[in-house]
C-alpha cells in the first residue's frame, strides 16, 4: 500500500468535521467576545478548566486580591503601635476566609457557565481540551474533529513548574491550588521572586504562617525599577524570611515536613511549598505548530498589532490570539483590551483596528503595594537624556498621618521639549491607584511641564505625593533646559 493510500484510509477513519463559523478556545477574556452581534453565527466556545471563566476569576487577580485585603487588615495591627494603638490578631479563621472568597467566585463561575450553555441558542460550550490537527481543524480529547472559518486563541497560561528534583506531594502547591487548601500550614516555603510570590508571601505571612521566600535573583521583583526592587526587598525582609541569589534543587518528604535543599547547601524545612515562578502559555497543549503558526521562543503565539496570528511572518486570515497565550504582558487588563480589538475585527473584517492605548501598567498587591509603568531609570538612560525624581510620601501631610518613612513616587522623564514622562514607579500605600493619573498623562502625551499646575489636588490626600513629584520634575526639566540651552514646549504639547 502506498503512502497516499494509507493517508486516504486514515482520512476515511477520521470522524467527519463539525463546522462552526467561529471557534473561541478559552473562556477568560475570550468569553467576553461573543454577544448579540454574533447571533447570526454558529459559535463554539471551548473551556476545559476545572472552573469556568479563566485564570483571573478562578485562580488569579480576583481571589488573590480578596485574600490580600484580609492580609492588609491583619498586617495593620502590626503597625498600629506606631499610631498609639495596641492591637493584635487573636485568631485566623481560614475556612471562613476561604468560604468568603470562593463563595463569591464559584457562584460567578457557575453562573457564567450556565449562561454560555443555555443563554444564547447559537453558542455551544465545549468543556473539553482541544488541539490543532492542521490549519483550521481542531481535534478534541475524545476525538471529535472541529473546523471553523475563524478561530480565536485565548487559552491562557498555566503555572510554570519547578525545575528541581521532587516527587508529587499534596503539600507542594502552585498558584492555582494554594488558595483552596483546607487549612493553613504552620510554615511555607515560597519559590519565586516575582509578583505572584510577593503577593502570596504577604498573604500567608500576615495570616500567621512562617514564610520563607527563595528567589534566584539578587532582589525581589527584579524586573521593576532598581530603586523600587531594592526598597521592596528590604521591607520584605522585615516581614518574612527572604533568601536571594539562590535556587531550590531538591524537595523531599521527611515525615510531616518537606525538606527543600537549596543550591547553597542549606535545608529549609516547612509543612508546605508554594511554587510561584510565573506562568507559561498554553500553546503546546493546543499543538499550534500543527497549524503552522509562528511561535516565540518562550512559547507565545506570534501576533501582529491587530491580534492576527502569523504564519511564516504573514497574518493568517480569520485567526486571532489574545491574552497570556500571545501577549507580552500576562495581565488581565491587557487581555481585556485585546479581546475588544479581536471582537471589533471579527465584526468588521474590512475595518481592522489595533495598537495599544498607551504604556502598560502593572500593580503588585503586596506590602507595600507597588504601581508602575514605562521605562525604568536604567532602561531610559540607555536611550538618551533623563532626569529622575524620587518623591517620598513623608513629604506630604498624609505621609505624616501614616508615619510612612519608606514609600516614594519615582518619575523617569526625558527632559527635552518640556519633559516626556517615560516611566513612573510608586511603592507605598494605594500605589496601584496613584499610578493612574500619571498613566493617563503619559497615554495622552502630556508634558510634565505644567501638568501639576493645570488641576487641583485634594489636600491633604495621598495624591499630593504625585503632585509634588510632578512639580519637582518640572523644576528639574527647567534646570536641564537652562544647562543645555534648550527651550520648553508649551504644556500639554503633543509628544514628538
Q: Please check if 47 is assigned to a binding site.
A: no
Per-residue confidence (pLDDT) for residue 356, from 0 to 100: 86
Distance, C-alpha 189 to centroid of its chain: 22
State the chain's mean pLDDT as an integer: 95
Q: Please check if 65 is assigned to a binding site.
A: yes
Q: Are 358 and 342 in contact (CB under 8 A)?
A: no
Q: Rounded to an integer, what distance in angstroms lies between the CA atom of residue 228 and that of residue 237?
A: 14
> How many CB atoms within 10 Å of residue 246?
16
Which residues does residue 414 pair with via DSSP β-bridges, in sequence order? Answer: 420
Q: Please check if 196 is assigned to a binding site.
A: yes
Nearest to 169 by CA among 67, 250, 48: 250
Query: Which tens digits make up the pLDDT trace of 112-124?
Result: 999 999 999 999 9
Q: What is the pLDDT along the chain (496 residues), one digit of tens a residue?
A: 455 444 444 544 566 789 999 999 999 999 999 999 999 999 999 999 999 999 999 999 999 999 999 999 999 998 899 999 999 999 999 999 999 999 999 999 999 999 999 999 999 999 999 999 999 999 999 999 999 999 999 999 999 999 999 999 999 999 999 999 999 999 999 999 999 999 999 999 999 999 999 999 999 999 999 999 999 999 999 999 999 999 999 999 999 999 999 999 999 999 999 999 999 999 999 999 999 999 999 999 999 999 999 999 999 999 999 999 999 999 999 999 999 999 999 999 999 999 889 999 999 999 999 999 999 999 999 999 999 999 999 999 999 999 999 999 999 999 998 999 999 999 999 999 999 999 999 999 999 999 999 999 999 999 999 999 999 999 999 999 999 987 554 443 333 3
Positive or negative torsion for Cα 285, 291, 292, 293:
negative
Per-residue confidence (pLDDT) for residue 486, from 0 to 100: 72
Q: Please check if 192 is assigned to a binding site.
A: yes
Domains of the chain (ranges; CATH) run 13-159+280-347 (3.50.50.60), 172-277 (3.50.50.60), 368-484 (3.30.390.30)
Task: Check 69, 296, 348, 459 and give the catalytic one.
Answer: 459
Single pTM value for the model? 0.93
Query: Which tens digits make up the pLDDT trace of 51-82?
Result: 999 999 999 999 999 999 999 999 999 889 99
Q: Rounded to an integer, what distance in angstroms lies between the CA atom of residue 34 and that of residue 24?
A: 9
Q: Please check if 79 is assigned to a binding site.
A: no
Q: Please check if 89 is assigned to a binding site.
A: no
Residues found in the chain: 496
Does 219 participate in catalysis according to the annotation? Answer: no
Amino acid at each position: 500500500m502506498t503512502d497516499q493510500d494509507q493517508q486516504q484510509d486514515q482520512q476515511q477513519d477520521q470522524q467527519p468535521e463539525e463546522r462552526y463559523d467561529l471557534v473561541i478556545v478559552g473562556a477568560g477574556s475570550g468569553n467576553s467576545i461573543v454577544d448579540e452581534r454574533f447571533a447570526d453565527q454558529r459559535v463554539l466556545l471551548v473551556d476545559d478548566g476545572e472552573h469556568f471563566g479563566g485564570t483571573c476569576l478562578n485562580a488569579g487577580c480576583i481571589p488573590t486580591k480578596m485574600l490580600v485585603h484580609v492580609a492588609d487588615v491583619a498586617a495593620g495591627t502590626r503597625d498600629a503601635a506606631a499610631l498609639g494603638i495596641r492591637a493584635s490578631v487573636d485568631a485566623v479563621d481560614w475556612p471562613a476566609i476561604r468560604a468568603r472568597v470562593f463563595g463569591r467566585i464559584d457562584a460567578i463561575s457557575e453562573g457564567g457557565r450556565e449562561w454560555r450553555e443555555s443563554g444564547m441558542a447559537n453558542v455551544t460550550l465545549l468543556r473539553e481540551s482541544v488541539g490543532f490537527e492542521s490549519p483550521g481543524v481542531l481535534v478534541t480529547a475524545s476525538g471529535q474533529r472541529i473546523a471553523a472559518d475563524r478561530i480565536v486563541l485565548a487559552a491562557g497560561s498555566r503555572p510554570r513548574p519547578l525545575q528541581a528534583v521532587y516527587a508529587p506531594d499534596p503539600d507542594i502547591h502552585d498558584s492555582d491550588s494554594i488558595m483552596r487548601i483546607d487549612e493553613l500550614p504552620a510554615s511555607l516555603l515560597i519559590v519565586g521572586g516575582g509578583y505572584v510570590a510577593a503577593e502570596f508571601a504577604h498573604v500567608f505571612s500576615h495570616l500567621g504562617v512562617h514564610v520563607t521566600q527563595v528567589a534566584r535573583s539578587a532582589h525581589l521583583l527584579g524586573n521593576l525599577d532598581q530603586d523600587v526592587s531594592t526598597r521592596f526587598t528590604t521591607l520584605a525582609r522585615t516581614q518574612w524570611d527572604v533568601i536571594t541569589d539562590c535556587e531550590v534543587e531538591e524537595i523531599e518528604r521527611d515525615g510531616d515536613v518537606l525538606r527543600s535543599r537549596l543550591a547553597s547547601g542549606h535545608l529549609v524545612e516547612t509543612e508546605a511549598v508554594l511554587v510561584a515562578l510565573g506562568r507559561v502559555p498554553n500553546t503546546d497543549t493546543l499543538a499550534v505548530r500543527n497549524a503552522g503558526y509562528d511561535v516565540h521562543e518562550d512559547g507565545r503565539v506570534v501576533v501582529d498589532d491587530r491580534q492576527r496570528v502569523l504564519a511564516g511572518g504573514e497574518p493568517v486570515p480569520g485567526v486571532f490570539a489574545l491574552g497570556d497565550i500571545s501577549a507580552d504582558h500576562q495581565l488581565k487588563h491587557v487581555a481585556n483590551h485585546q479581546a475588544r480589538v479581536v471582537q471589533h475585527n471579527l465584526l468588521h473584517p474590512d475595518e481592522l483596528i489595533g495598537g495599544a492605548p498607551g504604556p502598560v501598567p502593572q500593580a503588585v498587591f503586596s506590602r507595600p503595594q507597588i504601581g508602575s509603568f514605562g521605562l525604568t531609570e536604567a532602561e531610559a538612560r540607555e536611550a538618551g537624556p533623563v532626569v529622575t525624581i524620587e518623591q517620598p510620601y513623608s513629604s506630604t501631610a498624609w505621609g505624616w498621618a501614616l508615619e510612612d518613612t519608606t514609600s516614594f513616587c519615582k518619575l523617569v522623564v526625558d527632559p527635552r521639549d518640556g519633559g516626556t514622562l517615560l516611566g513612573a514607579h510608586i511603592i507605598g500605600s494605594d500605589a496601584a491607584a496613584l499610578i493612574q493619573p500619571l498613566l493617563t498623562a503619559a497615554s495622552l502625551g502630556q508634558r510634565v511641564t505644567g501638568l501639576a499646575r493645570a488641576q487641583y489636588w485634594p489636600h491633604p490626600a495621598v495624591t499630593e505625593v504625585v503632585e509634588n513629584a510632578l512639580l519637582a520634575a518640572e523644576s528639574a526639566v527647567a534646570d536641564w533646559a537652562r544647562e543645555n540651552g534648550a527651550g520648553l514646549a508649551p504644556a500639554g504639547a503633543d509628544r514628538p
